Amino acid sequence: MEAFGKWVRAERIARGLSETECATRAGMKLTVWSRMERTVKHPQRDTCAAVARGLGMEEADVLRAAGYAFEETEEIDLALARRLNRVLRSLPAGERQRIEALLEQDASQYVKLLKPYLEEGK
């Protein structure tokens, strides 16, 4: 999966927009927008909303590019998502980074890896 910031930069350039213009539309400082394009891999949802405003895109498209959106036919279990988030936050940084790297490669491996942690929390 390509880093979110790289995707944002490519979309901005394809639309013929400057960083300054996007940052202004998004309600961000130029330095924040610029840093996001260079470094952000997994943005928060509120960042996605700002990026959508900055690029003049639908928020759902930006969320999808960030890995948040699911196919409409899939159901999202918010309770499970919250549990996964708590588990990730509780892990040591190195282990959390390893799991996040696996997520980028294959979501099913990610779920399989976390299953023992999830079963402990029931």
- pLDDT tens readout for residues 79-106: 677 777 788 888 898 888 888 777 766 6
Q: Are residues 82 and 53 in the same domain?
A: no
| CATH number of 24's domain | 1.10.260.40
Q: How many CB atoms lie within 10 A of CB 66?
A: 21
**Model-level pTM?**
0.56
Banded pLDDT at 64 (limits 50, 70, 90): confident
Quick one: angle between helices 4-14 and 59-66, nearest 10? 140
Q: Are residues 83 and 114 in the same domain?
A: yes
Residue 98 lies in a domain: yes
Neighbour-count burial of 33, counting CB atoms closer than 10 A to its CB (0-12 exposed, 13-18 middle, 19+ buried): buried
Domain range for residue 98?
Answer: 78-120
| Phi, psi angle pair for 42, to nearest 5° | -130, 90
**Does 71 or 90 have the greater pLDDT score?**
90
pLDDT at 121 > cutoff 80:
no
Alpha-carbon distance of 52 to 55, in angstroms, equals 5
Q: Are residues 116 and 89 in the same domain?
A: yes
- How many domains in the chain? 2
Alpha-carbon distance of 80 to 78, in angstroms, equals 5
Whole-number pLDDT of residue 72: 47
